[in-house]
């Protein structure tokens, strides 16, 4: 899986994307509203790891998740 952090604009908030190995979108959420999106893609047991990585990730970069 991969994680991306997308910087928003004045009217659009920042978002996090989680994608699989084929780069298909699995989850798309705001960092302050992550529980619902991660629950839908069965990643609730890894929520703390994903949020920590997302907070530290610079905008526009892709990082491989080995979870």
Question: What pTM value is reported for the model?
Answer: 0.83
In this structure, what token pair is assigned to residue 32?
A: 């302050």
Any idea of the CA torsion for 40, 46, 51, 52, to the nearest 10 degrees?
-170
Q: What is the pLDDT of residues 14-51, one digit of tens each?
A: 999 999 999 999 999 998 888 888 888 888 898 899 99
> CA 57: distance to chain centroid?
10
Q: How confident is the model at residue 66 (pLDDT cuts 50, 70, 90)?
A: confident
Q: How many domains does the chain have?
A: 1
Question: What pLDDT is stored for residue 60 in this prediction?
Answer: 92
Q: DSSP state, 5?
A: E
- Which H helix or E strand runs over 39? helix 35-40
Question: What pLDDT is stored for residue 24 in this prediction?
Answer: 94
Q: DSSP state, 42?
A: T
Domain that holds residue 41: 2-64
Higher pLDDT, 6 or 33: 6
């Amino acid at each position: 899986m991969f994680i991306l952090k997308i910087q928003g604009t004045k009217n659009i908030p920042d978002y996090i994307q989680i994608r699989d190995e084929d780069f298909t979108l699995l989850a798309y959420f705001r960092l302050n509203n992550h529980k619902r999106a991660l629950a839908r893609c069965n990643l609730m047991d890894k929520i703390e790891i994903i949020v920590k990585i997302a907070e530290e990730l610079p905008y526009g970069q892709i990082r491989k998740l080995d979870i």
